[in-house]
């Protein structure tokens, strides 16, 4: 757990601590000074992402004329840079303030993304995609610190869940407009999408800079805590990269993050190469995922706001992912109709795992961190997620897609083991966590 401030929340008009996020209308609409602003900037950026994702690679291959394999290699290199960018970006946010650094990074993302429109050669593509990917991953890591600084601790996880719901809705809307650009299939249409996407980084950069956050010393430490001159505070700046229990939880979370590439990469390939289900089943499963995540994420988060609930959620998520893998494997050899039924059932099970693991990961990422150095801790945690996303496509392809049932079984064991291993890892962090404060309840 963090310091004592991690369990305090903002109260209502009478000053009572409600422990709930500032929402109205049955918990669907945000109120208060922070969550509406975060919702707006999240919607704008997610809309741009949804708009760009369906046609990003096609722009560089069909319009610019680059080799598909070369583009893939370049994006992998850029992904490695993105993984490395998270920790120094988090350190910078601890030093100069999370909202200031996030604003600069998001502005840089907008410029780097806009540069795609003038790419005319492979070296230019490589430079642009490395800068853009590095800045985007750095900004994501810093946004974890922004959430820690701007959102009340008692409602932080549920607020993150609300923002994830906003993200899914916005990406769906953006994807619909992106489909129009794909149908037009012209340079003008692709360039327009890229520039709109760039604006969806630039506009939030202005919004995040104006977020009200906890008052801090000039060096970034809380006014309620020790200043940078305090040896323990200064030492904590880089402790995240030496904090073995935290790193263990980060790695286990990264394994569970592979489930996202399972949906985006593994299932489409599995459907086409290994089942008799129609090709449109991949789109159906994506729609099922988006709708159910939007409906369930906030509810799941309400059960995982404390460490014990988060640990249980991560363990259950691992088991559910294992079950989803088993159902997916069963779809091979079935008739087209029953293959669609099996795949849809697996997708529903996976969504349950997804919302639980996401909420549990948010809680552990914050509660196991040193509150005096949220930037670098969230940078480490975000880099772990980036590693999971990077390695996921190759892992899923080499197991399930290439080896069928045996590959699905291997993935199932991996997911189940990772989820169940979270409990001993958090128990380890509890024993080693006196400097961070005590967990509200012992785990296990």
Q: Which pTM was predicted?
A: 0.72
Are residues 125 and 64 in contact, defined by beta-carbon separation less than 8 angstroms?
Answer: yes
Say what angle helices 307-330 and 244-261 make with each other, to 10 degrees. 30
- Among 214, 249, 264, where does a domain finish? 214
- In-domain check, residue 230: no
What phi and psi values does residue 29 have, to the nearest 5 degrees?
A: -115, 130
Give the pLDDT of the chain (444 residues) as one tens digit per residue.
333 323 333 333 333 333 444 444 344 445 567 888 888 989 999 999 888 877 787 788 888 988 877 887 887 788 888 888 877 887 788 788 888 888 999 999 999 999 999 999 999 999 998 999 889 888 887 887 888 788 887 778 888 888 888 888 888 888 888 878 877 888 999 999 999 999 999 888 888 888 877 644 334 444 444 444 444 444 555 566 678 889 999 999 999 999 998 887 788 889 988 899 998 888 788 788 888 988 898 888 888 888 999 999 999 999 999 999 999 999 998 999 999 999 999 999 999 999 999 999 989 988 888 777 777 788 788 888 888 888 887 888 889 988 999 999 999 999 999 999 999 999 988 765 543 444 444 454
Give backbone dihedrals phi and psi of 218, rounded to 5 degrees, phi first: -60, -25
Is the same domain home to 210 and 321?
no
Q: Please tell me whether residues 43 and 173 are part of one structural domain.
A: yes
How many whole angstroms separate alpha carbon 277 and alpha carbon 352? Answer: 23
Asked whether residue 393 falls in the same domain as residue 256, the answer is yes
How many domains does one find in the chain? Answer: 2
Is 9 part of any domain?
Answer: no
Residue keyed to tokens 């104006």: 210
Q: What is the distance of C-alpha 193 from the center of its chain?
A: 23
Q: Report yes or no on 292 lying in a domain.
A: yes
- Sequence-distant (6+) residues with CB within 8 A of 52 are 113, 174, 178, 193, 194, 197
Distances (CA, A) of 182 to 114, 175, 177, 246: 19, 10, 9, 43
Q: What is the CATH number of the domain that holds 168?
A: 1.20.1250.20
391 and 304 inside one domain: yes
On whether both 255 and 132 belong to a single domain, the answer is: no
Query: Domain residues for 261?
Result: 239-432
């Amino acid at each position: 757990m963090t310091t004592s401030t991690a369990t305090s929340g903002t109260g209502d008009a009478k000053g009572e601590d409600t422990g709930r996020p500032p929402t109205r209308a049955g918990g669907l609409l945000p109120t208060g000074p922070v969550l509406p602003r975060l919702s707006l900037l999240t919607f704008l950026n997610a809309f741009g992402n949804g708009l760009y994702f369906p046609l990003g690679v096609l722009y560089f291959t069909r319009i610019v004329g680059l080799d598909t394999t070369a583009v893939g290699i370049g994006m992998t290199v850029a992904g490695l840079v993105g993984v490395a960018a998270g920790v120094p970006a988090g350190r910078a946010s601890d030093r100069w303030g999370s909202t200031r650094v996030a604003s600069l990074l998001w502005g840089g993302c907008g410029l780097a993304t806009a540069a795609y429109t003038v790419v005319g050669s492979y070296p230019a593509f490589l430079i642009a995609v490395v800068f853009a990917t590095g800045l985007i991953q750095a900004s994501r890591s810093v946004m974890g610190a922004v959430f820690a600084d701007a959102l009340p601790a008692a409602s932080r996880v549920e607020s993150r869940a609300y923002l994830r719901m906003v993200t899914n809705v916005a990406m769906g809307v953006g994807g619909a407009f992106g489909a129009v650009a794909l149908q037009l299939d012209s340079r003008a249409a692709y360039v327009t999408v890229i520039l709109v996407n760039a604006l969806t980084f630039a506009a939030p950069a202005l919004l995040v800079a104006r977020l009200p956050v906890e008052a801090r010393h000039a060096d970034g430490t809380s006014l309620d805590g020790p200043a940078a001159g305090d040896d323990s505070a200064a030492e904590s700046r880089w402790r995240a990269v030496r904090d073995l229990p935290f790193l263990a939880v980060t790695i286990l979370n990264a394994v569970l993050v592979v489930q996202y590439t399972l949906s985006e990469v593994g299932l489409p390939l599995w459907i086409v190469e290994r089942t008799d289900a129609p090709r449109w089943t991949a789109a159906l499963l994506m729609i099922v995922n988006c709708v159910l995540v939007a409906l369930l994420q906030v509810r799941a988060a309400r059960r995982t706001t404390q460490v014990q609930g988060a640990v249980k959620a991560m363990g259950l998520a691992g088991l559910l992912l294992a079950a989803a893998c088993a159902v997916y494997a069963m779809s091979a050899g079935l008739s087209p109709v029953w293959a669609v039924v099996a795949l849809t059932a697996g997708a529903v099970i996976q969504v349950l795992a997804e919302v639980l693991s996401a909420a549990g990961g948010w809680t552990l990422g914050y509660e196991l961190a040193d509150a005096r150095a949220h930037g670098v801790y969230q940078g480490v945690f975000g880099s772990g997620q980036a590693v999971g996303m990077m390695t996921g496509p190759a892992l899923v392809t080499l197991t399930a897609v290439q080896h069928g049932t045996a590959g699905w079984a291997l993935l199932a064991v991996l997911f189940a083991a990772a989820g169940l291993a979270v409990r001993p890892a958090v128990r380890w962090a509890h024993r080693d966590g006196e400097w961070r404060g005590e967990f509200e309840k012992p785990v296990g």
